[in-house]
Chain A
Amino acid sequence: MNSHVNLERRRQAIYGWLLLTPAAILLSIFAFYPSIATLWSSLFSRNTRRRPSEYVGGENYTDLFADPTFWLVVKNNLLYAGVTIPVSIAIALAMALWANSKISARGFVRTAYFTPTVLPMIAAANLWLFFYTPGLGVLDQIGGLFGLPSVNWLGQPETALWAIIIVTIWKEAGFFMIFYLAALQTIPEDLKEAADIEGASRWTYTRRIVLPLLMPTTLFIMVNALINSVKLIDHLFILTKGGPSDASKLILYYIWEMAFAFFDAPHAAAMTIMVLLVLGIVAAIQFFYIDKRTHYQ
């Protein structure tokens, strides 16, 4: 009997590891090894004709800390995250509540909200370029109707990042809406009826019953939005290329530029490590703190 259990246990272990192997190999090749290799290469100087690569310790990091562009980019990215995450979640929630309510034209509304999701960001950026271009752009033409002066949305440091942020929100909100919509449909009808009988206003019902029930979804969306605030930079390539004067440059774009335009892989590596570190900290908070406070299914 005992040997049977042992055999079963061993069989499961072998199977378990075998089944994990393919994923484990790929994860190692494309996530863990590169992370370590990045850390390693961030400790060396650049290899050029004049000066071969050598170990420099933390110099690449101190360089970055001394680089005002780096701090500007960090600041931009914080603003980018700080605005896109809450705003797109709020809009997504509003969209879901509307798309789930009994209004006419619901089909159109749902489709319209979701459409940006299926557009590649690159394509979306092309569409928005047409919106933003001063003089020729749609925004200016509309502004012109009301006698507003032409605004160079992408060409001014004060507005460029905001123009980028708006495109991101536009792209993300519809996607997040779907998750809310899915969650909303699992809320039993009788809760609403009970609330009606109690005489609770719609606002109270939403705030006291719907929002708490949507908490796990919100958390999931928040993680997604956070990840997007790091990786969603495709539109920069079309709209601003990070300009003017780096006003709309985000960290991943800077990494790309550092590595592939400035040929400076070590500094790119150092930045990558810092991004991973920040993401890691956020992940830890998510797992060990918030996770415990929301009821997971």
Chain B
Amino acid sequence: MSNRIDTIGAVLLAVIWVSPLLFAVWAAFHSTSDAVNFTLLSPWTLDNFRTAWAGAPWFQYFINTFLLVTTVLIGQFILTTLAGFAFAKLEFPGKDFVFILVLMQLFILPEVLIVENYAMVSRLGLFDTILGVGMPYMASAFGIFLMRQAFKSVPIELHEAARIEGCGLLGILWRVYVPLAKPTYLAYALVSVSTHWNNFLWPLIVTNSPETRPLTVGLSIFGAPENGVDISVISAATLMSVAPLLIAFLLFQRQFVQAFLRAGIK
């Protein structure tokens, strides 16, 4: 009995949760007038997708977002691995102090520092480049923290064994620690990719041209013409821009959730 109530509650909530997406699908495949009037039997059409696709360089935006996400991820992996390892396994003076500094950065959000970060990126000559969009996020305190936790749990015996075989410190890091932390990397990658795929405010500020603009900024510009929005076309554009990540998620859902579970982010 209580199970049935649970099921009803759970499914009801689920339906509410996906309904905005469902309505977007509905709107995207119908003419604007049919969409807003909910003419249920009206014909389906691909016109909105055609209009939306022709209205902006979406393919370029996809590429930009993809490059951005990849750049950030590679940068984060390298930086957080090195720093996380130093914090987890090495003893050196000043370590605790630096660690507190890093933790502080958890609360110094890049989003809040947009003005100065923008000035910095310009000074470095990285304004309107994909690298410029990604750079402030590479030394992620969250990532460093996560890697530190993962490396800490690696048994010291493995470390010693590798050392006796003659591995240098970096060799040990690469051969022993990195493979063992794979689930953490995976989970971190998921968080990072979905964060940066979706990031908006910072790219809005530092990108200026279609050659660097990621999807989110492209979408907002596409959706903000001066004189009025066309709900169906916007829905079509929105669906196009969320499709890759959404499909990837639907396909790899199980692995996705498993990755989180195994990494034990908590």
Which residues of chain A in 1-45 are interfacial with respect to chain B, using CB atoms and an 8 Å cutoff? 9, 12-13, 15-17, 19-20, 22-27, 29-35, 37-38, 41
Q: Is there an interface contact between B144 and A217, defined as CB atoms closer than 8 Å? A: no
- Are A120 and B86 CB-contacts (below 8 A) given A130-B23, A231-B112? no
Query: Is A211's CB within 8 Å of the partner chain B?
Result: no
Q: Within the assembled complex, what's the spacing in Å between the Cα atoms of A252 and B194?
A: 21
Q: Which of B21, B120, B264 contacts A30 (CB 8 A)?
A: B120
B residues less than 8 Å from A33 (CB atoms): 116, 120
> Which of A31, A37, A113, A128: most chain B CB closer than 10 A?
A31
* Beyond A16-B86, A108-B14, 11 extra complex contacts between A and B, CB < 8 Å: A24-B83, A31-B105, A34-B116, A109-B10, A110-B253, A116-B17, A123-B241, A230-B111, A233-B201, A234-B216, A255-B112
Q: Is there an interface contact between B105 and A185, defined as CB atoms closer than 8 Å? A: no
Q: Within the assembled complex, what's the spacing in Å between the Cα atoms of A186 and B253?
A: 20
Q: How far is the CB of A10 from chain B (nearest CB, A)?
A: 9
Query: Is A272's CB within 8 Å of the partner chain B?
Result: yes
Q: Is there an interface contact between A26 and B115, defined as CB atoms closer than 8 Å? A: no
- Mask: chain B, 134-146; 1 = CB below 8 Å from A; 0 = not: 0110110100100
Query: Is B103's CB within 8 Å of the partner chain A?
Result: yes
Q: Which of A113, A116, A122, A276 contacts B219 (CB 8 A)?
A: A122
Query: Is A207's CB within 8 Å of the partner chain B?
Result: no
* Chain B residue with the shortest CB-CB distance to A112: B14
Binds B, one of A75-83, A93-101, A157-165: A93-101
Query: Is B66's CB within 8 Å of the partner chain A?
Result: no
- Are A117 and B194 CB-contacts (below 8 A) given A38-B115, A128-B20? yes
Q: Taking beta carbons and an 8 Å cutoff, which residues of B are in contact with A?
A: 2-3, 6-7, 9-11, 13-15, 17-21, 23-24, 27, 36, 38, 78-80, 82-83, 85-87, 90-93, 95, 98, 101-117, 119-120, 124, 135-136, 138-139, 141, 144, 169, 194, 197-201, 204-205, 215-216, 219-220, 223-224, 229, 231, 234-235, 237-238, 241-242, 245-246, 249-250, 253, 257, 260-261, 263-266
- Are A126 and B223 CB-contacts (below 8 A) given A19-B86, A22-B139, A136-B231? yes
Which residues of chain A in 124-154 are interfacial with respect to chain B, using CB atoms and an 8 Å cutoff? 124, 126-131, 133, 136, 138, 141
Chain A binding site: helix, strand, loop or mixed by DSSP?
helix
Q: Within the assembled complex, what's the spacing in Å between the Cα atoms of A260 and B204?
A: 11
Q: How far is the CB of B97 from chain A (nearest CB, A)?
A: 12
A-B contact list, 17 entries, CB within 8 Å: A23-B80, A27-B101, A31-B105, A95-B10, A107-B253, A115-B21, A115-B246, A120-B199, A130-B24, A182-B260, A182-B263, A227-B106, A234-B216, A237-B220, A237-B224, A255-B115, A256-B201
